[in-house]
Chains A and B, each alone.
Chain A
Amino acid sequence: MANLKEIRTRISSVNSTMQITSAMKMVSAAKLKRAQDRIIQMRPYANKLSEVLQNLSGTMAEMENKFVDKREVKKVLLIPVTSNRGLCGGFNANVIKQTNRLMNNTFIDAEVTVFPVGKKVFDSFKKSENLYSGDLLSDPSMSGEVFNDLSFENSSDICEGVMKAFWDGHYDKVILVYNQFKNAATQLIQSEQLLPVEAPEAEGSGSIDYIFQPGKEELLESLIPSALKTQFYKALLDSNASEHGARMTAMHKATDNAGELLDELKLTYNKARQAAITTEILEIVGGAEALAG
């Protein structure tokens, strides 16, 4: 049986780990609340924008625009979105796995470039030859910075670079891979096509007779970029909220496990202590008897 001191040390180390994990859980819960609020804040804007786009979808199908036109897919840009920090369960690993799957199955015939957003996915693709390099987009190793100050403006900066690269024909398809926020415990891995833009399904066949100013096509030309930026920003917000949700769940489990471990250790400790006392008594009794005899 392990000696008493050893067990005591383990108990105190498990105890302090438990304190850390439960503190991290609290922090994540608070951050999750904020991240969720931002998604909710964003929703009316995104919904309205897609409504307006639906009104124009008929025009979109006909018009010629580099953002809309489908080209033969030879060069694909994958944008996996992860967090900058670990300790959040399978959150980052799932995105990386999905990215690899896309790279090795779906787009095996195409030339795939990976532009990572977030430190974790950058670390994972750091040595891969598919990692984006060049000066079209911002530096991939810095892209995680966006999460330090997540605002529409910062996210647009990245998105604009991607849009420009697509417009200039460097890529034929752009796919976002991210964790969609469902609830605090569930994240859905999404692979979403950012570019080319797919015309949304028209609902209710545009019953309202709008005046379009300027014309429909010009309107679309200015709307598509903002729709893209919104879509990109939404993915980042979703990923951010999912990260905190995932971390909260992971830390909750870790705290529970630490508690279980602590109970077990305490039991072993008490048993060891009892055994030590019993041996001591036996020794004393034995000694006394030897003297009396």
Chain B
Amino acid sequence: MNIEILTPDEDIFKGEVDIATFPGKDGSFGVMNNHAPMIAALKAGDIVVKDTNGEQTFAVKGGVVEVLKNKVIVLAE
């Protein structure tokens, strides 16, 4: 699935990943391929994205995630 992490100042990450883990308001959750459409709020924590080459971590203060048709858009702060 395709993921984009945006902040008001810059685009931090853009690319294909296998799984992404988010610090959701109601607890951490992961998103994999073919996830149902979802909008979720984030709290401060780390976003971890994993692809075949390894994983990357991004610290966020909060934000919101939109999952739609294998496209994940993270509006982070």
- A binding-site residues for B, Cβ under 8 Å: 38, 41-42, 44-46, 48-49, 51-52, 55-56, 151-152, 208-214, 218-219, 222-223, 226, 229-230, 233
CB pair A213 B39 closer than 8 Å: yes
* A45 and B75 contact, Cβ closer than 8 Å, known pairs A151-B9, A226-B62: yes
CB pair B25 A233 closer than 8 Å: no
CB pair B62 A222 closer than 8 Å: yes
CA of A51 to CA of B75 in the docked complex: distance in angstroms?
Answer: 12
Residue from A52, A151, A209 in contact with B64 in the complex, judged by beta carbons closer than 8 Å: A52
B7 within 8 A of A: yes
Query: Smallest Cβ distance from A279 to chain B, in angstroms?
Result: 69
- B binding-site residues for A, Cβ under 8 Å: 6-11, 24-26, 29, 36-41, 62-64, 66, 68, 73, 75, 77
Further 8 A-B residue pairs, CB within 8 A, beyond A44-B6, A52-B66: A38-B9, A42-B8, A46-B8, A49-B64, A151-B9, A214-B41, A226-B77, A229-B8
**Chain B, residue nearest A226 (CB):** B77
CA of A211 to CA of B35 in the docked complex: distance in angstroms?
Answer: 10
* A208 and B37 contact, Cβ closer than 8 Å, known pairs A214-B25, A226-B75: yes
Residue from A56, A152, A211, A219 in contact with B7 in the complex, judged by beta carbons closer than 8 Å: A152
CB pair A208 B68 closer than 8 Å: yes
* A45 and B6 contact, Cβ closer than 8 Å, known pairs A52-B64, A214-B25, A223-B64: yes
Could you give 11 example pairs across A and B, Cβ below 8 Å?
Answer: A38-B9, A45-B7, A151-B9, A210-B66, A211-B36, A213-B29, A222-B25, A222-B62, A222-B64, A226-B64, A230-B8
CB pair B68 A41 closer than 8 Å: no
CB pair A233 B68 closer than 8 Å: no
CB pair B8 A218 closer than 8 Å: no
CB pair B8 A152 closer than 8 Å: yes
Residue from A41, A44, A55, A233 in contact with B39 in the complex, judged by beta carbons closer than 8 Å: A55
CB pair B26 A210 closer than 8 Å: no
CB pair A233 B8 closer than 8 Å: yes
CB pair A210 B41 closer than 8 Å: no
CA of A229 to CA of B9 in the docked complex: distance in angstroms?
Answer: 12
**Chain A, residue nearest B40 (CB):** A213
Query: Smallest Cβ distance from B66 to chain A, in angstroms?
Result: 6
**Chain A, residue nearest B74 (CB):** A48
Query: Smallest Cβ distance from B12 to chain A, in angstroms?
Result: 11
Residues on B with beta carbons closer than 8 Å to the beta carbon of A41: 9-11
Residues on B with beta carbons closer than 8 Å to the beta carbon of A218: 25, 41
Query: Smallest Cβ distance from B61 to chain A, in angstroms?
Result: 9
* A48 and B75 contact, Cβ closer than 8 Å, known pairs A211-B37, A213-B40: yes
CB pair A210 B64 closer than 8 Å: no
CB pair A48 B73 closer than 8 Å: yes
Residues on B with beta carbons closer than 8 Å to the beta carbon of A44: 6, 11
Query: Smallest Cβ distance from A259 to chain B, in angstroms?
Result: 40
Query: Smallest Cβ distance from A202 to chain B, in angstroms?
Result: 14
Residues on A with beta carbons closer than 8 Å to the beta carbon of B66: 48, 51-52, 210
CB pair A49 B41 closer than 8 Å: no
